[in-house]
Amino acid sequence: MTTTGAAGRKGPGFTLIELMITVVIVSILAAIAYPSYREYVARSRRAEARGVLSELGLFMARRYSEVGCYQDAGADGDCAAGGDNEDPTLPFTTVPKDVTQTTYYNLSLAFPGGNGLTFKLSAAPTGPMAGDKCGTLTLDDQGTWGVTGAAGKAYCIK
């Protein structure tokens, strides 16, 4: 003989309504938590890119102290005359530096002044970071941080 409780239920268990309420609550929590998590991951990857750009900025400063300019001075030793195709190569060109991992940023080096006395490092988002709202992170020879594609978004470079 089967016994029923005061509410007319048979034994322990969940009703379909209770199960659906639980599913709705979990779905709402996931809808709130997942975008926050994704933004947290993106911020941590941006922070890593800024750290790597800082490291490369120090690499370029060390080169300047050794050579007298950021580009190679050329055979005549004059930075203004341009280099002799021996411009410095970056010790690494991706973030993270370990090339066996998924790449989040590609790094590049440019000499906008054309005189060997200025440089600009860039970290362009790629892979999972492609389309990032902060765009490309930059650092120049004056230590000035910038972003392209995200004008006015100061939180991108903090």
Among 1-5, 37-41, 107-111, name the one with the lowest average pLDDT: 1-5
pTM: 0.76
10-26: average pLDDT: 87
Residues 6+ apart with CB under 8 A from 45: 95, 104, 105, 128, 129
Work out the pLDDT band at 85, boundaries 50, 70, 90: very low
Cβ proximity of 92 and 107 under 8 Å: yes
Cβ proximity of 83 and 68 under 8 Å: no
pLDDT for residue 73 = 64
pLDDT for residue 37 = 92
DSSP state for residue 139 in the 8-state scheme: E
Work out the pLDDT band at 5, boundaries 50, 70, 90: low
Residues 6+ apart with CB under 8 A from 92: 52, 107
State yes or no: pLDDT of 88 exceeds 90.
Answer: no
65-78: average pLDDT: 74
State yes or no: pLDDT of 84 exceeds 70.
Answer: no
State yes or no: pLDDT of 69 exceeds 50.
Answer: yes
Domain ranges of the chain: 16-157
Q: At residue 71, what is the residue type?
A: Q
State yes or no: pLDDT of 94 exceeds 50.
Answer: yes
Work out the pLDDT band at 33, boundaries 50, 70, 90: very high
Q: Could you give the CA distance from residue 117 to residue 82 in angstroms, rounded to a whole number? A: 10
CA distances from 144 to 2, 122, 128 (A): 78, 12, 26
